């Protein structure tokens, strides 16, 4: 597989996204709410929470939102990337070029993965800066960065993003409009949402060990989804079986 | 060596045979038209030849490379350009951006890519609108961009799948002129079409497909093969015995008279028509009209298709 070819495919998609503002908004909204909104909520609630001794647990739970964000951010891009090609009927001329199925698939995946992760990391930087600013006087130390947040950002978030990209490609092969693809694609977030709720209500503690277990499970699911996507993304099937 | 060589090419989708044992060739520099009703297997044939879908059995070579061979597929895709029935442009991008993207996918060096984009957009009279989003283009303009896209890597062989479907007569004429220009540039063209008039005007040879290839020949030879002899009708002001005797003297293959029309079947109408006209005039006949009753490709096509039902 030639990465240069995959990059050409991805670059074209980046260019398309800059012209389709609605796709950019789907990436930005959630990150903005989590990265700016939550620190301000923490700022107003921190004294009470610190007194109750739950502030660190609360911050750990909030930081898990970046896993959800990494899964959510590629929804719009991945859905548009393939369903958009189907709607515009541009897959046939694309598949007629001397580009392999793997190169096209890799290009589409990069196009969804990179902006999603970039948004996640930029959002995380803002989140860390604001949380440290607002909680330092109460905690007397900078809560972030810490090892748990590093696992979230550099292990769980990319794995969640890869899963979301793969799952959305599978969904996109079955549907014909972007909105349906996004709605069905969002189902991938349900398990992450459940984990977040469990951590918020203190049923599940986001300890390093627990997060590594979640990461291991995600990695296995990612591999399974990768093989499913590879089996789905075959040019003959795309032209004759995809709806 | 022929540009396309096809032998017993077959495609099945499960139990359904879409294309059955096709055997034909397309010479270099030729415009070959494939005619057939909906569902006849025309698009499936193009897709197999473009290495987009696999064959079930048989052989096909494009420029000497085999379509069934994985390694050859990438080489074949560089040799060919495809204009599919759905134009398939990226509507958000401009014509220039669309062509630049495909130029990169076809591995054209940057300088060459820029040169060709300018050349083709200029040729299609779209250079002034190169930065305009394709979504603002008319259908005819989009089709011109799609043709430029197929030509961006200077392929030897062009596949057109229904290139004038949904275009107005003016845009259709432009597309036909472009295809004829490609022939003069030495390109080989494979054309799928429903438009019989278009096929007759621009194709060197025609194949009639209905899952099986029912006939292949030049439009004129197809007519001769299907209909036998072509009739010449000479309308004379007043027919008399002297005129009929003069006509019989030239030994036509068949002679009949209907009202003031002398209907002849001749071995070689192109050569003999003038002799018959001269004989009638010499016998005192006043000729009002000379017509060749040509069934045309449409009638020929319909006869071939009906006979297979």
Tokens standing for A107? 């290009």
**Spatial distance between the Cα atoms of A114 and A111, rounded to a whole number of angstroms:** 6
- Residue A214 backbone dihedrals phi, psi, to 5 degrees: -60, -40
Task: Give residue B174's pLDDT.
Answer: 87
B29 burial class (0-12, 13-18, 19+ CB within 10 angstroms)? middle
Preferred mutation among B54, B80, B105 to probe A, highest tally of A CBs within 10 A = B105
Give pLDDT tens digits for A30-66.
889 999 999 998 888 767 666 667 788 888 889 999 9
- What does CATH list as the number for B4-224? 3.40.50.300
Give pLDDT tens digits for B277-294.
999 999 999 999 998 877
**Spatial distance between the Cα atoms of B49 and B61, rounded to a whole number of angstroms:** 8
- Contact indicator for B24, B213 with CB cutoff of 8 Å: yes
**DSSP bridge partners of A70:** none
Provide mean pLDDT across the span B121-134: 91
Task: Give residue A219's pLDDT.
Answer: 96
Q: Which stretch of DSSP H or E encloses residue A82?
A: helix A74-88
**Spatial distance between the Cα atoms of B265 and B256, rounded to a whole number of angstroms:** 9
Residue of chain A with shortest Cα separation from B153? A97
Task: Give residue A70's pLDDT.
Answer: 93
Task: Give residue B81's pLDDT.
Answer: 95
Q: How confident is the model at residue B71 (pLDDT cuts 50, 70, 90)?
A: confident
Q: How confident is the model at residue B195 (pLDDT cuts 50, 70, 90)?
A: confident
Cβ of A5 within 8 Å of Cβ of B105? The answer is yes
User: Is A81's pLDDT higher than 90?
Assistant: no
**Complex prediction ipTM:** 0.86
**Spatial distance between the Cα atoms of B264 and B257, rounded to a whole number of angstroms:** 9
Closest partner residue to B90 (CB to CB) among A88, A236, A239 is A88
User: Is B3's pLDDT higher than 80?
Assistant: yes
User: Is B309's pLDDT higher than 70?
Assistant: no
Cβ of B52 within 8 Å of Cβ of A94? The answer is no
User: Is B78's pLDDT higher than 90?
Assistant: yes
- Contact indicator for A73, A162 with CB cutoff of 8 Å: no
SS3 B16: strand
Q: What percentage of chain A reaches a pLDDT higher than 70?
A: 97
Q: How confident is the model at residue A243 (pLDDT cuts 50, 70, 90)?
A: low
Task: Give residue A179's pLDDT.
Answer: 83
| CB contact B89 to A (< 8 Å) | yes
- Contact indicator for A215, A64 with CB cutoff of 8 Å: no
Closest partner residue to B149 (CB to CB) among A5, A93, A236 is A93
Tokens standing for A166? 């793969």
Task: Give residue A22's pLDDT.
Answer: 81
Letter string b/e over residues A72-89, b meaning 16 or more CB atoms within 10 A of that residue's CB: bbbbbbbbbbbbbbbebe
User: Is B175's pLDDT higher than 90?
Assistant: no
**To the nearest whole number, what is the mean pLDDT of chain A?**
88
User: Higher model confidence: residue A106 or residue B68?
Assistant: A106
The residue extents of the domains of chain A are 3-236
Give pLDDT tens digits for B92-116.
999 999 999 999 999 999 999 999 9
Letter string b/e over residues B120-139, b meaning 16 or more CB atoms within 10 A of that residue's CB: bbeebebeebbeeebeebee
Whether domain B231-293 has CATH 3.30.70.100: yes
**To 5 degrees, how large is the angle CA B78–CA B83–CA B85?**
140
Preferred mutation among A11, A97, A107, A176 to probe B, highest tally of B CBs within 10 A = A97
**Spatial distance between the Cα atoms of A15 and B300, rounded to a whole number of angstroms:** 50
- Contact indicator for B286, B237 with CB cutoff of 8 Å: yes
pTM exceeds 0.95 = no
Tokens standing for B52? 């987009």
Task: Give residue A49's pLDDT.
Answer: 65
Rounded to a whole number of angstroms, the distance from the CA of A238 to the nearest CA of chain B is 10
**Spatial distance between the Cα atoms of B159 and B143, rounded to a whole number of angstroms:** 14
The residue extents of the domains of chain B are 4-224, 231-293
Provide mean pLDDT across the span B215-220: 88
**To 5 degrees, how large is the angle CA B232–CA B233–CA B238?**
145
**To 5 degrees, how large is the angle CA B174–CA B175–CA B178?**
90
- Contact indicator for A81, A105 with CB cutoff of 8 Å: no
Name B277's Cβ contacts closer than 8 Å, sequence gap at least 6. B234, B287, B290
Cβ of A90 within 8 Å of Cβ of B106? The answer is no
Rounded to a whole number of angstroms, the distance from the CA of A113 to the nearest CA of chain B is 21
- Residue B255 backbone dihedrals phi, psi, to 5 degrees: -140, 130
């Amino acid at each position: 597989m030639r990465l240069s070819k995959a990059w050409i495919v991805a670059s074209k998609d980046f260019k398309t996204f800059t012209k389709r503002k609605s796709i950019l908004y789907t990436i930005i909204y959630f990150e903005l709410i989590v990265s700016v909104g939550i620190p301000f909520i923490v700022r107003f609630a921190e004294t009470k929470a610190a007194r109750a001794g739950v502030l660190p647990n609360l911050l750990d739970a909030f930081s898990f939102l970046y896993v959800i964000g990494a899964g959510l951010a590629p929804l719009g891009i991945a859905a548009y990337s393939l369903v958009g090609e189907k709607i515009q009927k541009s897959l046939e001329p694309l598949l007629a070029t001397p580009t392999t199925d793997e190169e096209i698939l890799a290009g589409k995946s990069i196009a969804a993965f990179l902006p999603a992760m970039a948004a996640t990391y930029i959002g995380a930087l803002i989140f860390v800066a604001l949380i440290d600013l607002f909680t330092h006087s109460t905690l007397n130390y900078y809560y972030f960065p810490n090892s748990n947040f590093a696992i979230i950002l550099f292990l769980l978030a990319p794995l969640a993003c890869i899963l979301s990209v793969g799952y959305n490609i599978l969904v996109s092969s079955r549907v014909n409009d972007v909105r349906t693809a996004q709605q069905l694609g969002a189902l991938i977030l349900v398990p992450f949402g459940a984990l977040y709720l469990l951590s918020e209500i203190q049923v599940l503690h986001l300890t390093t060990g627990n997060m590594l277990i979640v990461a291991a499970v995600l990695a296995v699911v990612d591999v399974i989804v990768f093989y499913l996507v590879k089996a789905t993304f075959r040019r003959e099937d795309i032209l004759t079986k995809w709806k | 060596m022929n540009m396309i060589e096809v032998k017993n090419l077959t495609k099945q989708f499960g139990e359904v045979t879409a294309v059955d044992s096709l055997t034909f060739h397309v010479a270099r520099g030729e415009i070959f038209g494939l005619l057939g009703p909906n569902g006849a297997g025309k698009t499936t044939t193009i897709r197999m030849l473009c290495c987009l879908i696999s064959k079930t059995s048989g052989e096909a070579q494009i420029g000497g490379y085999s379509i069934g061979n994985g390694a050859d597929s990438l080489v074949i895709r560089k040799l060919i350009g495809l204009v599919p029935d759905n134009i398939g442009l990226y509507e958000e991008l401009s014509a220039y951006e669309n062509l630049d993207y495909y130029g990169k996918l076809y591995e054209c060096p940057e300088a060459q890519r820029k040169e060709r984009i300018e050349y083709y957009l200029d040729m299609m009279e779209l250079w002034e609108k190169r930065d305009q989003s394709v979504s603002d283009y008319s259908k005819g303009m989009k089709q011109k961009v799609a043709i430029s896209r197929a030509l961006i890597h200077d392929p030897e062989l062009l596949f057109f799948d229904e290139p004038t479907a949904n275009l107005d007569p003016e845009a259709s004429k432009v597309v036909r002129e472009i295809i004829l220009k490609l022939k003069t540039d030495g390109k080989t063209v494979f054309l799928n079409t429903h438009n019989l008039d278009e096929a007759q005007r621009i194709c060197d040879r025609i194949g009639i497909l209905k899952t099986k290839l029912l006939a292949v020949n030049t439009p004129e030879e197809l007519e001769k093969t299907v209909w036998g002899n072509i009739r010449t009708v000479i309308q004379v002001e007043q027919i008399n015995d002297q005129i009929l005797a003069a006509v019989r003297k030239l030994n036509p293959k068949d002679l009949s008279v209907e009202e003031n029309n002398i209907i002849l079947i001749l071995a070689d109408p192109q050569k003999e028509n003038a002799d018959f006209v001269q004989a009638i005039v010499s016998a005192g006949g006043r000729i009002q009209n000379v017509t060749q009753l040509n069934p045309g490709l449409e009638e020929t096509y319909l006869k071939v298709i009906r006979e297979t039902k």
